[in-house]
Structure formats: C-alpha cells, structure tokens
C-alpha cells in the first residue's frame, strides 16, 4: 500500500515595512490554508495593493503548517 505524503501549507498577505496601514495589521497576521480559491483572492489583493502602494510592496508569504 502506497501513501501519498501531503505537506500542508498556509499563506498570508504581507507588506513592506515602508507601507504603514494600522487597519491592515490584523489581517496581515492571519494565516489561512493554501487552497486555490484562497490563493486567487490573495493574488488579487497583492496585485491591487501593489498598484496602490508601488511594485513589490505586497506579496504572499507561505509557511508549512
């Protein structure tokens, strides 16, 4: 019997220290399971925030759960 090893990954939105937004700090610390819908929503948020604040000011951070 073969087992498939799954590595669980969590993701969250991160921002550069240069961007100050106290209202977003709570959301930025929230880790969520890396699912296709969650990643798509965060990718949209990254794209939108980078348009507002400048290129590469926001990104998706990953960690092993």
Checking if the pLDDT of 5 tops 90, the result is no
Residue 41, domain member (yes or no) = yes
- Does residue 2 lie within any of the structural domains? no
Q: Three-state DSSP class for 65?
A: coil
Q: Does any domain span residue 24? A: yes
In a domain, 4, yes or no: no
Number of domains in the chain: 1
What is residue 27's predicted lDDT score, i.e. its pLDDT? 62
32 domain residue, yes or no: yes
Determine, yes or no, domain membership for 31: yes
Cβ atoms of 14 and 61 closer than 8 Å: yes
User: Domain range for residue 57?
Assistant: 9-64
What is the reported pLDDT for 18?
Answer: 81
Look up residue 30 and give its two tokens. 């929230």
- The residue ranking higher by pLDDT, 22 or 10, is 10
- How do residues 23-58 score in pLDDT, each as one tens digit? 566 666 789 999 999 999 999 999 999 999 999 999
């Amino acid at each position: 019997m073969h087992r498939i090893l799954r590595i669980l990954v969590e993701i969250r939105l991160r921002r550069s220290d240069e961007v100050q937004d106290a209202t977003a700090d709570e959301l930025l610390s929230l880790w969520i399971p890396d699912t296709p819908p969650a990643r798509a929503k965060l990718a949209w948020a990254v794209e939108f925030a980078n348009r507002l604040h400048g290129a590469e000011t926001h990104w998706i951070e990953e960690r092993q759960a």
